[in-house]
Amino acid sequence: MTKAKKLSAAQKTSSEPKLLDKVKIDLRTKHYSKKTEEAYLKWIKEFIYFNNKKHPLELTKENIEKYLSELAVKRNVSASTQNQALSAILYLYRNVLKEEVGWLNDVIRAKRSARIPVVFTRDEIQKVFSYLEGTSKIICSLLYGSGLRLGEALRLRIKDISFDYNQITVRDAKGNKDRITTLAKSVFPELKNHLNNVFLIHKSDLKKGKGKTKLPNALALKYPNADRDFYWQYAFPADKYIKDKDSGLIYRYHIHESSIQRKIKEAIKQAGILKPASSHTFRHSFATHLLESGYDIRTIQELLGHNSVKTTMIYTHVINQGAGVISPLDR
């Protein structure tokens, strides 16, 4: 068993920021998304509590493996969730505690199951859409028509939507990358009408002395008045204001994911579709239907923002599964 590193008295009595605050500062300095920040802080806190609040420098490889086993065996989390917890812990050691000890590389990641994604048929897409309306329908149109993840659609700012070029710019997507994807012309009328209503809401907020939004990174310092500009506002703002914990700014954040997920779940049920479908099924369907229409795999990879074409190749299994095989029952 690897010996744990002992803390010095100076480390224990230091007046430096608390460990989780250090993690938060480091993540924000490296421009990680809010969602990643929340997830990493959650897992690191859980890891520390699991080990009776011992400082991570006092822990070893065995402590990490025991925690990951707890997640997999007793809590029955998926391989991807287990790997996210491990990524958070490794981030803590490497980036915050600056520990590059050999055993960090020896911790084994859980092997993810190679599952075929759930995909809607084109008829099922139409059925689901017939039970959607208003903002939720527009958002789902972007999930299926542009291949967006739900979080990406909700984080869109007005400036990210280009009707002239029929495209959407996805900022700080998975892997902290920007990408450009297509914008379906069929969604133009409803989307333009929706954005006109958002403009009126923003105009009303300004009259009330509000109307500011939270700008990404340090843009508020570079452009002091940009937070009032309409094009920086969220395309799908929430009905109520929230108060930012750090700055104290009262502003409209975007609609919460759970409200759209509920609408999607209800629409799928009303459409009578017996599949374990979710908001992500629209993105899977976008990729699969493009493949069926003859678009090449590299183009689809870029539209989806996948790092590796291997990730995109999973959709070829969807359309090739059983293709060309005549069942013996039909002979």
- Note if 174 is an active site residue: yes
- Residue 67 CA to residue 50 CA, distance in Å, equals 7
Tell me phi and psi for residue 50, to 5 degrees.
Answer: -60, -30
Q: Which of 40, 93, 234, 315 is catalytic?
A: 315
- Residue 27 CA to residue 34 CA, distance in Å, equals 9
Q: Which of 149, 214, 263, 284 is catalytic?
A: 149
Contact present, 318 and 285 (Cβ < 8 Å)? no
Going by C-alpha positions, the residue among 254, 253, 178, 249 that lies closest to residue 220 is 249
**Distance of alpha carbon 30 from its chain centroid, rounded?**
17
Contact present, 48 and 56 (Cβ < 8 Å)? yes
Following CA atoms 31, 33, 37, 40 in sequence, which dihedral angle do they give, to the nearest 10 degrees?
-100
Instruction: Please report where in the chains the tokens 């690897």 appear, as a residue.
Output: 2
Q: Which of 155, 179, 263, 283 is catalytic?
A: 283
Q: Which of 55, 174, 210, 228 is catalytic?
A: 174
Tell me phi and psi for residue 173, to 5 degrees.
Answer: -75, -170
- Residue 22 CA to residue 20 CA, distance in Å, equals 5
**Interhelix angle 257-270/279-292, nearest 10 degrees:** 70
- Note if 28 is an active site residue: no
Contact present, 250 and 172 (Cβ < 8 Å)? no
Q: Which of 22, 54, 127, 280 is catalytic?
A: 280
Contact present, 111 and 167 (Cβ < 8 Å)? no
- Residue 191 CA to residue 161 CA, distance in Å, equals 10
Going by C-alpha positions, the residue among 268, 293, 290 that lies closest to residue 279 is 268
- Note if 202 is an active site residue: no
Going by C-alpha positions, the residue among 243, 247, 256, 209 that lies closest to residue 228 is 209
Going by C-alpha positions, the residue among 31, 47, 125 that lies closest to residue 92 is 47
- Note if 331 is an active site residue: no
Catalytic residue set: 149, 174, 280, 283, 306, 315
